[in-house]
Amino acid sequence: MVDDFHLIELQGVTKDFGDTLALDNINLYVRRREFVTLLGPSGCGKSTTLRIIGGFEYPTEGRVFFDGRDITDEPPYRRRVNTVFQKYALFPHLNVFDNIAFGLRIKKVSKTDISARVKAMLDLVGLKGYEKRGVDQLSGGQQQRVAIARALVNEPEVLLLDEPLGALDLRLRKDMQLELKNMQQRLGITFLYVTHDQEEALTMSDTIVVMKDGRIQQIGTPKKIYDEPKNAYVADFIGESNILPGVFIRDELVEFCGKPFRCVDKGFGSGTTVDVVLRPEDVAVGAVAEESMLTGTVLSTLFKGVHYEMMIDVGCAVLKAHSTVKQEEGSRVGITVVPFNIHVMSRGNAPDS
């Protein structure tokens, strides 16, 4: 599916809005037919990145390449990409059909062709028979579909999606996630997707780009980013984490909470202060035993549907643990974490190189 051809490439892109530095030296490529997600909190620069690719913002520094050609200076209406905007930006004075036909009419496609292609698009997004509806008569989910159809009918090589599901309720969002992913695979179009929802990113993407403060923190597959976060920021942003201050003693040995623990990480240099990340599902809680690495008191227990979420005071910190076995509040428990699940990370948020 995904081939190795770099369809979009950003080289040293910086965007300075005068009062804020929105993007700081971004280097990024998107391969053909890849589903890439830009993930980060609001203000991290993910939307700005998308808008630079769409042609709505001009980078302060750096170049943008498309299909091997420098398109930095090209206006949006000459770029072979289309965008699905945050609040859809459907034209309120046009009905569904005219909204979708907008781009084709500009390209002077013949009337019969337009009609056929719009119909095909409406079929694709499941809105057969909605041609004559006004866009403000549609539900949020339907407007979303029209926005996608309006972009896709132009057969773009890349579809840019700026938090397209942000305005939908949880249930609809889950359905649309699957649908979008299917659509992308069926049509073989490259998707560049922006979201602040880590779960959405993990579900849909081939590649996730985690951003913070205008810098890229980590690029990788969802699994790699979840399992091997590059730093505490990524670990915290993707899934829940316990982050503890620690000191790297030597390869495969790290100290936190005043005790040495075996781990699998190497090469930090002994004596370096590090962050130690423990996923709540990796924190095993049981009766106090000799092999317990830490002991603590259960502060609270909360039933979460599949598991219990417990907050455990181990003296040096309060750890969050997930377990299917319930421990009573106030009871003394023992905690173990296998070495493989103790993630050691360098301090601070060093950008990915």
Partner 1 sequence: MKKLGLIFVILMLVFLYAPIIVLVVYSFNDSPTRAVWGGFSIRWYIELFHDKSILDALYVTVSIALIATVASTIVGTLAAIGMHSMKPGMQSLYVNVTNLPMLTPDIVTGISLMVLFIFAKFPRGYWTMLLAHITFDAPYVIFSVLPRLRRMNKHLYEAALDLGSTPGRAMRQVILPEIMPGVVTGALLAFTMSLDDFVISYFTSVRSANLSMLIYSMTRRKVPPTINALSAIMFTVVLALLLIINRRDARQAA
Query: Are 100 and 118 spatial neighbours (Cβ–Cβ below 8 Å)?
Result: yes
Q: What are phi and psi of 234, to 5 degrees?
A: -65, -45
Binding mask 62-91 toward partner 1 (x if CB under 8 A, else -) reads: -------------xxx---xxx-xxx-xxx
**19 part of the interface to partner 1, by CB under 8 A:** no
Tell me how far, at minimum, the Cβ of 284 lies from partner 1, in Å. 49
Binding mask 153-172 toward partner 1 (x if CB under 8 A, else -) reads: -x------------------
How would you classify the pairing of strands 190-195 and 158-162? parallel
Query: Are 4 and 207 spatial neighbours (Cβ–Cβ below 8 Å)?
Result: no
**92 part of the interface to partner 1, by CB under 8 A:** yes
- Rounded to whole angstroms, how far apart are CA atoms 72 and 87? 26
**173 part of the interface to partner 1, by CB under 8 A:** no
Residue holding tokens 């890849």? Answer: 34
Stretch that binds partner 1, among 101-109, 192-200, 235-243, 262-270 (CB under 8 A): 101-109
Residue holding tokens 């035993």? Answer: 289
Q: Which is nearer to partner 1, 125 or 234 (CB)?
A: 125
194-212 burial by CB neighbour count: b if 16+ within 10 A, else e? bbbebebbbebbbbbbbbb
The residues near 169 (Cβ < 8 Å, ≥ 6 apart) are: none
**226 part of the interface to partner 1, by CB under 8 A:** no
Residue 128, class by beta-carbon neighbours within 10 Å (0-12 exposed, 13-18 middle, 19+ buried)? exposed
Stretch that binds partner 1, among 52-60, 226-234, 260-268, 275-283 (CB under 8 A): 52-60
Binding mask 125-154 toward partner 1 (x if CB under 8 A, else -) reads: -------------------------xx--x
Tell me how far, at minimum, the Cβ of 154 lies from partner 1, in Å. 7
Secondary structure E strands in 47-189: 61-66, 69-70, 81-84, 158-162
In 3D, which of 259, 254, 209, 251 has the Cα closest to residue 234?
A: 209
Q: Which is nearer to partner 1, 50 or 208 (CB)?
A: 50
Tell me how far, at minimum, the Cβ of 97 lies from partner 1, in Å. 14
Stretch that binds partner 1, among 2-10, 53-61, 212-220, 284-292 (CB under 8 A): 53-61
- Rounded to whole angstroms, how far apart are CA atoms 250 and 258? 15
- Rounded to whole angstroms, how far apart are CA atoms 120 and 241? 46
**48 part of the interface to partner 1, by CB under 8 A:** no
- Rounded to whole angstroms, how far apart are CA atoms 337 and 55? 49
Residue holding tokens 């179009």? Answer: 189
**120 part of the interface to partner 1, by CB under 8 A:** no
**46 part of the interface to partner 1, by CB under 8 A:** no
**190 part of the interface to partner 1, by CB under 8 A:** no
Tell me how far, at minimum, the Cβ of 200 lies from partner 1, in Å. 21
Q: Among 103, 214, 239, 296, indicate the residue that binds partner 1 (CB under 8 A).
A: 103
**215 part of the interface to partner 1, by CB under 8 A:** no
Q: Which is nearer to partner 1, 146 or 314 (CB)?
A: 146
Q: Please, how many CA atoms are within 13 Å of residue 194, restricted to the half-sphere of its CB? A: 24
**93 part of the interface to partner 1, by CB under 8 A:** yes
Which positions lie near partner 1, rule CB under 8 A? 54-56, 75-77, 81-83, 85-87, 89-93, 102-103, 106-107, 150-151, 154
